[in-house]
Amino acid sequence: MGIEKFTDVKPSEYLYNPEILTRLDFSRSPATFSPKISAAQPGEEWLKVRPLQRSDYDKGFLQLLGQLTSVGNVSKKQFDERFTQMKQSGGYYVTVIEDTRVGRLIGAATLTVEQKFIHNCSLRGRLEDVVVNDTYRGKQLGKLIVVTVSLLAQEVGCYKMSLDCKDKLIKFYETLGYKMEAGNSNAMNMRFEDPS
Ligand SMILES: CC(=O)SCCNC(=O)CCNC(=O)[C@H](O)C(C)(C)COP(=O)(O)OP(=O)(O)OC[C@H]1O[C@@H](n2cnc3c(N)ncnc32)[C@H](O)[C@@H]1OP(=O)(O)O
């Protein structure tokens, strides 16, 4: 298994430049992998970590997200339009793991990058929509996809990365370098209408 070259698909079909994934240094993460794996070398020949592609509509991307939350009935046209909008606006790093034996997506996580004026026009990352297909869980793929997008945040210049999660996942994220900050770890929401 070698470092992926990403030459099989036209660059325009990727949501972001895939080459950036080959540069991530997994030794910078506090996560422990046993055996050792990384985005470039995910441990099996048939596993590929890569940016979302336009054609992933047909590789079960929305069904995978359906294991995280309600997705609704998104048509191929809607998916295509959203993909184009995300690509044009930049700052959306939807990252997936594919089982190439079956051509299906089995893991996903998103880094979104907010542009700020504060902190000297800084960038802040948010970790969103983390999911691993239930038949593939417990094999380090959750850690792999979260560490991948967290290192990606650092690589693109974010000064911090934040997430919201259920209480039972706090330990999982702590092992990957996320911390509850005393007096500053409350998530609050104002809900408008149910989008699904
Ligand atoms: C920011 C957000 O998006 S939060 C939303 C997170 N996503 C979800 O809840 C969707 C449903 N759940 C999932 O998709 C998966 O269970 C994930 C992504 C949370 C974890 O994926 P997995 O591939 O099973 O994780 P992985 O095998 O890398 O597990 C890493 C460690 O976390 C622990 N862990 C994994 N899932 C959970 C869980 N739900 N609760 C507690 N601990 C967990 C594992 O026991 C493992 O511990 P170990 O390293 O000591 O053995």
Name the residue of 130, 162, 170 whose CB sits within 8 Å of the most ligand 1 atoms, as the mutation to test its pocket. 130
Per the CB < 8 A criterion, the answer to whether 73 and 62 are in contact is no
CATH number at residue 160: 3.40.630.30
Residue 191: inside a domain: no
pLDDT tens string 61-118: 999 999 999 999 999 999 999 999 999 999 999 999 999 999 999 999 999 999 999 9
Q: How many domains, in total, are found in the chain?
A: 1
Task: Give the integer Cα–Cα distance in Å for 113 and 111.
Answer: 6
Per the CB < 8 A criterion, the answer to whether 77 and 127 are in contact is no
Confidence band of 2 (pLDDT split at 50, 70, 90): very low
Name the residue of 127, 131, 167 whose CB sits within 8 Å of the most ligand 1 atoms, as the mutation to test its pocket. 131
Residue nearest atom 17 in ligand 1 by C-alpha distance: 142
SS3 helix, strand, coil % of the chain, rounded to 5?
A: 35, 20, 45
Confidence band of 196 (pLDDT split at 50, 70, 90): low
ipTM of the complex: 0.94
Amino acid in the structure at residue 138: G
Question: Residue 163: enclosing H or E segment and its boundaries?
Answer: none
Per-residue pLDDT at 141 exceeds 60: yes
Q: Please tell me the predicted confidence (pLDDT) of residue 63.
A: 98
SS3 4: coil
Residue 6: inside a domain: no
- Residues framing ligand 1 (Cβ under 6 A): 67-68, 127-132, 137-143, 163, 165, 168-169, 171-172
Per the structure, the complete domain to which residue 155 belongs is given by: 11-174
Residue 183: inside a domain: no
What is the mean predicted confidence (pLDDT) over 20-41?
97
Residue 186: inside a domain: no
Q: Please tell me the predicted confidence (pLDDT) of residue 195.
A: 73
Residue 73: inside a domain: yes
Residue 139: inside a domain: yes
Q: Between 10 and 65, where is the model more confident?
A: 65
Per-residue pLDDT at 183 exceeds 60: yes
Q: Please tell me the predicted confidence (pLDDT) of residue 5.
A: 64
Residue 140: inside a domain: yes
Per-residue pLDDT at 3 exceeds 70: no
**What is the pTM for the complete model shown?**
0.95
Residue 190: inside a domain: no
